[in-house]
Amino acid sequence: MALWSGRFEENTSNFALTWGASLETDKAMAEHDIAGSLAHARMLSEQGIISEEDFSAIEAGLDRILGQIQNGTFAWDGADEDIHMAVERALIADIGPAGARLHTGRSRNDQVATDIRLLAKELADDLLSENRALRDVLLDTAEKHVDAVMPGYTHLQHAQPVLLSHHLLAYFWMLTRDHTRLAAAYDAADENPLGAAALAGTSYPLDRERTTELLDFSATIPNSLDAVSDRDYLLDLEYACAVSMMHLSRLCEEIVLWSSSEFGFITLSDAWSTGSSIMPQKKNPDFAELTRGKTGRVVGDLVSLLVTCKGLPLAYNKDLQECKEGALDAADTLLDCYVVMKGMLATMSVHRDRMAAAARAGFTAATDVADYLAKKGMPFREAHAVVGQLVLSCEKRGCGLEDLSLDDLRAASGLFEADILGTLDPESIANARTTYGGTALDAVLIQLEEAREVLEADYLW
Ligand code: ARG
């Protein structure tokens, strides 16, 4: 018989009971459920709502249950609808009437909201530390290849040469903002719903501030209906996960491209790639592809929860039971992807020569030649046209802009002088971009220093 079966004359359909249960998913928050119950019971006894003896029995009983769950000896009963029922049933079986007093002034509605918030804080915390670890590896990788030149792209067409370190640092800053988003999701979850009871609060003299303190929440939710009925903090967490997956997915797409024969910029280590069952020569960037692929499911988790919550009247509705799996899935997926990304980046080899050669191809010096003319007084739009003509003639001759002689250049414009020679190689072009946030080595060194400082501050989070 279910713990709530008092007013029932017939049994609920077994199929419906099993179908409506959340026990399997709830196991992820078993420890949080017990922590919530311990805090509630302690507060009840401090308020004189239950006796100290009852509290001692409850505390010892919950401790035993926690131990059994942790060492795998807890007797799970498939008939229990959720973790709250499972723990309460085991407690009552163990300690009798004292156990039956635990649920005084409490409902599963504020209980589940408490559990999920504690779980969300833990998930966010784990994600925050893996995010920092990945950013550490990104910085190390950028430092290791600090002056390697590569083509910078727009529309995936060669645009202007950039430093690989600069390119990698772009991802560092994206992941830094992801850290901020995850931290905000942590803060959103960090408020105590316990004491809201079913929906309206309770007539028992609960001390809600006390459970806030005991459970290490930083605030007490001021409205009982809101406390039991919203899951927006999970949306915050899933949004942060989805955005970070999107960032990883972009980097993975680049890893897939860079490790192809066409690019040949990097080789992934054996430890972080796979082979083909039929083509002996193959080494596939599977884990980059899979990370890119898993972005879809995390975005799906976010959309799914948004749609689940839309249109729910106040306060608790059973629909909300659906919110846990997606949140766990999004967080677990991102956590693993951070680890995979770290492994791939830390062990990949970079082919500087291939990158530098590619940085030369596709007339990546064109902007600089036009800038040269503009700096000598030619209106930029006119310079753009002159260089366009030069590119066309190079294309016909099968050479690069840097291969043109001074005579070739002077035939296009009398403004060209000897000082243009030797400035059109990719290194010089990259190093000329000295603006703050630009790709010149000096600017990147400043950026690296700033990035280290930001990461150090995030470690104090
Ligand atoms: N298993 C439920 C959930 O996960 C717990 C709360 C159920 N409350 C209720 N009154 N049926 O949301």
∠ Cα 46 37 326 (to 5°): 145
Could you tell me if 271 and 411 lie in one domain? no
Backbone phi and psi for residue 247, each to the nearest 5 degrees, phi listed first: -65, -45
Separation of alpha carbons 344 and 347, rounded Å: 6
Among 3, 18, 82, 119, the mutation site with the greatest number of ligand 1 atoms within 8 A of its Cβ is 82
Could you tell me if 63 and 127 lie in one domain? no
Residue 201 pLDDT: 98
Could you tell me if 352 and 366 lie in one domain? no
Task: Give the residue-averaged pLDDT of 312-320.
Answer: 98
Separation of alpha carbons 150 and 82, rounded Å: 55
Domain with 114, as residue range(s), is 109-188+230-358
Could you tell me if 289 and 338 lie in one domain? yes
Two structure tokens written together for 117: 């918030």
Could you tell me if 264 and 341 lie in one domain? yes
Task: Give the residue-averaged pLDDT of 101-116.
Answer: 98
Residue 74 pLDDT: 98
Q: Which residue has the tokens 């400043």?
A: 446
Residue that finishes a domain, picked among 324, 340, 358: 358
C-alpha 225 to ligand 1 mean position (Å): 15
Going by pLDDT thresholds of 50, 70 and 90, the confidence category of residue 5 is confident
- Mean of per-residue pLDDT scores for the chain: 96
The domain tally of the chain equals 3
Ligand 1 atom closest to Cα of residue 21:
1
Q: Which residues are near ligand 1 (CB < 6 Å)?
A: 22, 82, 108-109, 112, 318, 320-321
Two structure tokens written together for 168: 């990698």
Could you tell me if 253 and 332 lie in one domain? yes
Going by pLDDT thresholds of 50, 70 and 90, the confidence category of residue 52 is very high
Closest Cα to residue 60, out of 90, 80, 20, 25?
A: 90
Could you tell me if 365 and 436 lie in one domain? yes
Q: Which residue has the tokens 């949080």?
A: 32
∠ Cα 123 136 154 (to 5°): 100
Closest protein CA for atom 12 of ligand 1: 321
Could you tell me if 78 and 153 lie in one domain? no
| Residue 388 domain-assigned (yes or no) | yes
Could you tell me if 270 and 391 lie in one domain? no
Ligand 1 atom closest to Cα of residue 324:
4
C-alpha 324 to ligand 1 mean position (Å): 11
Ligand 1 atom closest to Cα of residue 198:
10
| Residue 53 domain-assigned (yes or no) | yes
| Residue 193 domain-assigned (yes or no) | no
Going by pLDDT thresholds of 50, 70 and 90, the confidence category of residue 174 is very high
Ligand 1 atom closest to Cα of residue 320:
12
* For residue 1, pLDDT beyond 80: no
Two structure tokens written together for 119: 């779980």
| Residue 205 domain-assigned (yes or no) | no
CATH code: domain of residue 59: 1.10.275.10
The pLDDT > 90 percentage for the chain reads 92
Helix (H, G, I), strand (E, B) or coil at 220: strand
Could you tell me if 136 and 82 lie in one domain? no
| Residue 202 domain-assigned (yes or no) | no
Residue 365: asked if its preceding bond is cis (omega within 30°), the reply is: no
| Residue 209 domain-assigned (yes or no) | no
Residue that finishes a domain, picked among 332, 358, 384: 358
Helix (H, G, I), strand (E, B) or coil at 77: coil
* For residue 44, pLDDT beyond 90: yes
Backbone phi and psi for residue 342, each to the nearest 5 degrees, phi listed first: -60, -45
379-389 pLDDT per residue, tens = 999 999 999 99
325-355 pLDDT per residue, tens = 999 999 999 999 999 999 999 999 999 999 9
Could you tell me if 313 and 253 lie in one domain? yes
399-450 pLDDT per residue, tens = 999 889 999 999 999 999 999 998 999 999 999 999 999 999 999 999 999 9
Separation of alpha carbons 414 and 407, rounded Å: 10
Among 83, 108, 116, the mutation site with the greatest number of ligand 1 atoms within 8 A of its Cβ is 108
Burial class from Cβ neighbours inside 10 Å (0-12, 13-18, 19+) for residue 354 reads: middle
| Residue 196 domain-assigned (yes or no) | no
| Residue 199 domain-assigned (yes or no) | no
* For residue 191, pLDDT beyond 80: yes
284-311 pLDDT per residue, tens = 999 999 999 999 999 999 999 999 999 9
Tell me the CA end-to-end span of the chain in Å, nearest whole number. Answer: 47
∠ Cα 175 216 39 (to 5°): 140
Among 106, 314, 321, the mutation site with the greatest number of ligand 1 atoms within 8 A of its Cβ is 321
CATH code: domain of residue 144: 1.20.200.10
Radius of gyration of the chain (CA): 31
C-alpha 123 to ligand 1 mean position (Å): 21
251-290 pLDDT per residue, tens = 999 999 999 999 999 999 999 998 878 787 888 999 999 9
Residue that finishes a domain, picked among 308, 325, 358: 358
Q: Which residues are catalytic?
A: 155, 276
* For residue 452, pLDDT beyond 90: yes
Could you tell me if 256 and 352 lie in one domain? yes
Phi-psi region of 377 (alpha: psi -120 to 50; beta: other; left: phi over 0): left
CATH code: domain of residue 368: 1.10.40.30
